[in-house]
Amino acid sequence: MGFLWTIIFMAVVGAAIGAVTNHLAIKMLFRPHEAKYIGSWRVPFTPGLIPKRRDELAKQLGITVIKHLLTPDIFKKKYFNDAMKSKANDFVVKQLNKNILQSDKTVHGWLKLAGIESVPSLVNAKIDEQVDIQFNRILAKLENETIRQIAPLDWQEKANSKVGDIVSYILHKGEEFFQSEEGKSTIKKLIDDFLSTKGTLGNMIQMFMGDSNSLVGKVQPEILKFLRAPGTKVMLENIVQNEWEKLKDRPLAEMMEGFDFDPLVVNVKAYLREQLAIEDRLNYSLNHYFPGASEWVETQMVPKITNFAFVEAESKLEEVLRKMKLEEMVKEQVDSFPVARLEDIVLGISKREFKMITVLGGVLGGLIGIIQGLIVFLTS
């Protein structure tokens, strides 16, 4: 009977020692959270294993994250693939169509959203300013330059070639005029005026030549003969050509002197405002001006931009991860994480397993106690 009680006693003691030892070992992973001192002497096994090795743990976690958890290859496999690219493309197209391209908001509304007010007034003022600037620039240029300097060479050559046509036209019209009754009346008036200014000489001419009507009949054929003569045309062509050459070398400012250009400038400004109609144009949506924009964005623009963005992001991924310094971020987060909170998380997740370890310690301690009891009995 004493043997049985000895075995039971040693089994109970062994089980208690095993269970308590395992329980304390689990607790000593986290507790105490801080080092304990008696005077200047630090109590052994304080703080607990995890608080004591927090710096090393944080450093190893950071290295593990960089080398095994958040590597560039993992990011590329997870995010830089055709499926993710397709999702990004669809998302961008959907947002652009919904919020911009197919929106009912007018151009004026978009400008107002961007903080730009009174656009018609600003645009019209800019138009007036540019018209004044350009017109003053043209006038300044014309004041110092001639037709020969400003007009293109082919224009000048074209004008030179038209001198003969102009002279022919003038002579033809002159013939028609002097052959008409109006021309005869003009010749008669000229003769009368000429004779009236000559006094006695005029009377003598009329006496020998007859009255002014007779003189008209004699003068008119001579005028027509003069106009039809080849030499007349050559003479007039030379005169016109010489005057044209002189005219090309005169400053344009001389020819424009006395002209008031203000009404012209006002009309140009009014015409531009009327044609641009800025205020009316701002009251339409973007879809009104770009009806095919949605299709173009979906098939052309967004795929190219998305593809470019993915290629560039993938090529810069390693550099970005390096600049993010994830290892340091993980270390800082672990260093700043309260040990008590970490203990609650670990125990909350593995509470059942830790109980089983404590029970297992008790079971093993009990078995060891029984074995010890048997050894004591056999050796006594």
Dump pLDDT digits (tens) for 154-166: 887 888 888 888 8
Percent of the chain with pLDDT over 70: 83
What was the pLDDT predicted at 315? 85
**pLDDT of residue 49 exceeding 70:** no
What was the pLDDT predicted at 199? 53
Give start and end residues of each alpha helix (H) in 277-338: 278-281, 286-289, 293-296, 302-324, 326-336
DSSP three-state, residue 257:
coil
Q: For residue 202, what pLDDT band results from cuts at 50, 70 and 90?
A: very low
Beta-carbon contacts of residue 200 (< 8 Å; ≥ 6 apart)? none
Cβ–Cβ under 8 Å, residues 24 and 365: no
Mean pLDDT is highest, among 16-30, 76-90, 101-115, for 76-90
On average, the pLDDT of the chain sits at: 78
**pLDDT of residue 293 exceeding 70:** yes
Q: How far apart are CA 2 and CA 99, in angstroms?
A: 91
**pLDDT of residue 88 exceeding 80:** yes
302-324 and 326-336 helices, crossing angle to 10°: 60
Q: Please tell me the pTM assigned to this model.
A: 0.47
Lowest mean pLDDT among 122-126, 143-147, 204-208, 360-364: 204-208
Say if residue 47 is preceded by a cis peptide, omega within 30 of 0: yes
Q: For residue 14, what pLDDT band results from cuts at 50, 70 and 90?
A: confident
CB atoms within 10 A of CB 360: 13
More confident residue, 198 or 380: 380
Q: How far apart are CA 307 and CA 313, in angstroms?
A: 10
**pLDDT of residue 378 exceeding 80:** no
Q: For residue 29, what pLDDT band results from cuts at 50, 70 and 90?
A: low
Cβ–Cβ under 8 Å, residues 323 and 72: no
What was the pLDDT predicted at 208? 45
Q: For residue 45, what pLDDT band results from cuts at 50, 70 and 90?
A: low
What was the pLDDT predicted at 220? 80
What is the arithmetic mean of pLDDT over 122-133?
87
Give start and end residues of each alpha helix (H) in 119-229: 119-144, 147-150, 153-161, 163-179, 181-196, 200-209, 212-228
